[in-house]
Structure 1
Amino acid sequence: KKKSAIQELEERYASGLFSGLTEKTIDLVNGGEKIYQNNIFDYIQGRVPGIKVVKNGINYELFYRNRFSLFGGPIPMLVYLDEMQTDARLVATIPANQVSMIKVFSSFVGAEGNGAGGVLAVYTKKGADLSSSLSTSGDIFQYKGYSVIKEFYAPDYSSGKPLNLSSSQKDQRITLHWQPDIIVDGVDTKVPVQFYNNERSRSFKVVVEGMTSEGKMVFIEKIINPDKKAF
């Protein structure tokens, strides 16, 4: 007996416990449907009976058939990406047209609490499935992977001793301080920052980039003169 397209798809992607019976399996490779949604959660909203997608800022929660815990609260679904448990927020960053298959389990033996709230397994395209989804009338660019992590250089002048450096060794840094993670709680929004100046700067340009809890981008650029009040 010839296997169906979805059976062949499952053989290519699903393994172990994930190849078992599901409540629903969605094939996004063989259907011929154009998928324009930004992420897979926008796609399944209204397409999978029983699944409710709740978005709060940049966070997502999924609930299946209104299941509640003994304490009365709703139990969110567990989310797996390529058979690895992950956060729904990570899955939301993947374009929906890069997903090959979705499997919905009402429960799952290999999951925490046996997947009491249900399990959503998302599979990303690979091989020929991925190549066919990348066809475009425009140009295709290839980007390098992640750069090697390098520690930001910041000299330590805490000893207070004169260094007697030559002119070629003078501190000529342009970027004096870099702080990748700043988190404010909305109560105390003052963030103390300490750094050593270079040999020539008398004023400083501060650039702040980030995101609010609602997902709005933040960009602030300001010139600070130490002799004047900056903020």
Structure 2
Amino acid sequence: MLNISDIEEIGVIKGAKAGSLLGVRGGAGAVVIRTKTGKSKNIIEPKEDNIKSIMPLGYQQPISFYSPKYETVREINDKQPDLRTTIYWNPNINTSSLGEASVDFYTADFITDYSVVIEGMTTDGKIVYGINEIKVTN
């Protein structure tokens, strides 16, 4: 977390220079961010005490979100409490021509109110965002 006004310079070190300056950690290149209060005056010669290595995960294959079905008698009668904090997540909800959609989900076993967050994008690139609450009554 850097304040943009604290950044003096951003640069990229690639190839042999990155490897020679940063060792094995810099073999694939490095992004160097020099702050205005940093000790180094040369972006390609960072000192060990002001280097922060960040290894981004890169592309991740999406996995299926677990959502219980409770279709069998055994699942319905299971005594193991459902304590999920994220109840439903679906990256591919399509809406009707009126912009409406319907989803079904099972709530967790503890009584609580639920926050509903909708984030998405229309086919023409407009951002969609909404937040609301489902009040649970007993």
TM-score (ref. length: structure 1): 0.33
**Superposed, which structure 2 residues align to 1:41-80 within 5 Å?**
none
Question: Cα distance 1:182–1:135, how it changes in 2: closer, same or farther (>3 A)?
Answer: same
Counterpart in 2 of 1:27?
A: none
Tell me the amino acid that sits aligned with residue 158 of structure 1.
E
Residue 65 of structure 2 corresponds to residue 170 of structure 1: no
Percent of counterpart pairs with the same letter?
28
2: CA distance between counterparts of 1:138 and 1:179?
Answer: 36
User: Which residue among 56, 64, 89 is the counterpart of 1:143?
Assistant: 56
User: Is residue 115–residue 134 contact of structure 2 (8 Å, CA) maintained in 1?
Assistant: yes
How far residue 160 of structure 1 moved from its aligned partner, in angstroms, is: 5.3
How far residue 202 of structure 1 moved from its aligned partner, in angstroms, is: 4.0
Q: How many residues align?
A: 93
The structure whose Rg is larger is 1
Structure 2, unpaired ranges of 5+: 1-13, 19-28, 35-52
**Superposed, which structure 2 residues align to 1:73-222 within 5 Å?**
138=33, 141-159=54-72, 162-165=76-79, 169-184=80-95, 187-222=97-132
Structural RMSD (CA): 3.1
1: CA distance between counterparts of 2:66 and 2:103?
Answer: 16
2: CA distance between counterparts of 1:225 and 1:197?
Answer: 12
TM-score (ref. length: structure 2): 0.51
Greater strand fraction, Structure 1 or Structure 2? 1
User: Is residue 67–residue 88 contact of structure 2 (8 Å, CA) maintained in 1?
Assistant: yes
Question: Cα distance 1:142–1:189, how it changes in 2: closer, same or farther (>3 A)?
Answer: same
Tell me the amino acid that sits aligned with residue 33 of structure 2.
G
**SS state of the match for residue 92, structure 2?**
coil
Greater relative contact order (Cα < 8 A, sep 6+) = 1
